[in-house]
Structure 1
Amino acid sequence: MTIIRGVRAQLRRRLLITYRVEPEVAASLLPTGFRPQIVDGSAVAGVCVLGLESIRPSWARRRWGLRSENAAHRVAVEWDTADGVQKGVFIVGRHSSAWHPVIFGGRLFPGVHRRARFEIEEGDDRYAVTMDAGEHSLCADVEVGGAWSSSLFASIDEASDFYRAGRLGWSAARGGRSVESVALTTDAWRVENAHLHSVSSSFFDALPAGSAVFDSVVVMRDLPLTLSDVRESPIDAVLSPAGT
């Protein structure tokens, strides 16, 4: 793996909201070259909501930096390489509150983004998030703590291992005719139990009735991280309309 471009940031908060999805429905969201990762008979998909600050080029000191709210709808995937089966996520779409990911994403730093409006209400352990991007919307109310509940993962540790293994994310490159990969890394990985008070996602609500069911949510907070373009083993990915 070779790092090409990258940014550093401080993660204020990351919500990982996960759904069980029927495998054939999840497969329809992916370009050729990827297949859904199956856990207990279901595909795994979700939305990652990131609050970032001190966003800067990887070579810059932390004396300055930008700030943004971001959301990424994604599907856990597998793909074949000369070294065997690899795992990660395919990001169907990214949205951001800030101008810099929209203008420079996929050019000066990783990931093509579309602009969205975010409203965030944050308490000590509770996060109410609203995203409006016109054709796409998300509302989620998440609170840290409570007993672990998931039909996909037996424990919070099992969920944490699954998310960490999916640090490499693929998405449509600028222009939509190929794919690019981005790695999210941190030296201070830490996942917390959380429970969901409510969620509404235009992305998942638009899938066939009953094909996507909420499973679980976890929270990550106050961590340094790096987002980097990488060169992985080549993927013969053909983008379908759903993957553009």
Structure 2
Amino acid sequence: MGLPGSIGVRSENAAHRVAVEWDGPDGVESGVYIPRRDSGSPLNVLLGGRLFPGVHSLARFEVEESEHDLHVAFTSKDSSTRVSVDVRTADELAGSTLFPDLAAASEFFRQGRIGFSASRDGRRLDGLALNTSKWQVRAAHTHAVQSTFFDDPTRFPSGSATLDCTLLMRDVPANWTVTTPMQIPAMA
């Protein structure tokens, strides 16, 4: 939002992300579609989709972090979405059916650093790109995960949304830049 961190503007935010590919002007492109964003900041909820991309829903967050463990949980203000995740850092990526190793998983997400979210008017997808001079992910093991969003069979048929692996980014300097919106074709 253009405010320095020294002012004390901080917030907990969560994005439900789905990896996607699409046909771009130079061939196949990749990124993520973000069907839902939640924030602990009323300011982010107010300005999301207006001053910066992504409509946000207000949520209450609980975060506990140590050198090796991370617990993140949140409940949306309207209680329609609840998420709880407990992970522990690991020396290597294990059990993934999509990636042979941590390097491949890291590169996939580095290349897919652009996220698109529905706009308030529903006619376009607003884009936001993650920029960092120090891309760094660690493998993690998930001890417990629950998401009423991904577990909802009206959104995802049973077994269609499954956890493949867990990657953790910490202490990575980052900034976000707005990308060109993607127009949604009119329905006939």
Confirm or deny that 1:143 pairs with 2:88: yes
Q: CA deviation at 1:67?
A: 0.8
* TM-score normalised to structure 2 length: 0.88
Q: CA deviation at 1:213?
A: 2.1
Residue 159 of structure 1 is matched in structure 2 by 105
Q: CA deviation at 1:238?
A: 4.3
* TM-score normalised to structure 1 length: 0.69
Tell me if structure 1 keeps the 8 A contact 2:53–2:119: no
Unaligned segments of structure 2, at least 5 residues: none
Distance 2:143 2:166 in 1: 10
Give, as a single letter, the amino acid of the residue that structure 2 aligns with 1:97: G
3-state SS of paired residue (1:212):
coil
Q: Which of 179, 182, 188 lines up with 1:230 in the alignment?
A: 179
Q: CA deviation at 1:62?
A: 4.8
Distance 1:238 1:119, change over 3 A: farther
Give, as a single letter, the amino acid of the residue that structure 2 aligns with 1:64: I
Residue 73 of structure 2 is matched in structure 1 by 130
Distance 1:94 1:239 in 2: 24
Q: Which of 11, 19, 33 lines up with 1:90 in the alignment?
A: 33
3-state SS of paired residue (2:16):
strand
Percent sequence identity is 44
3-state SS of paired residue (2:169):
strand
Confirm or deny that 1:203 pairs with 2:152: no
Give, as a single letter, the amino acid of the residue that structure 2 aligns with 1:185: N
Higher RCO (Cα < 8 Å, 6 or more apart): 1
Confirm or deny that 1:217 pairs with 2:162: no
Residue 16 of structure 1 is matched in structure 2 by none
Q: Which of 97, 107, 112 lines up with 2:50 in the alignment?
A: 107
Q: CA deviation at 1:176?
A: 2.5
Give, as a single letter, the amino acid of the residue that structure 1 aligns with 2:164: D
Distance 1:75 1:238 in 2: 20
Residue 27 of structure 1 is matched in structure 2 by none
Distance 1:143 1:172, change over 3 A: same
3-state SS of paired residue (2:162):
strand
Moved more, 169-178 or 91-100: 169-178
Q: CA deviation at 1:168?
A: 0.8
Give, as a single letter, the amino acid of the residue that structure 2 aligns with 1:237: I
How many residue pairs were aligned? 181
Q: Post-superposition, which runs of at least 4 consecutive aligned residues in structure 1 deviate over 3 A?
A: 60-63
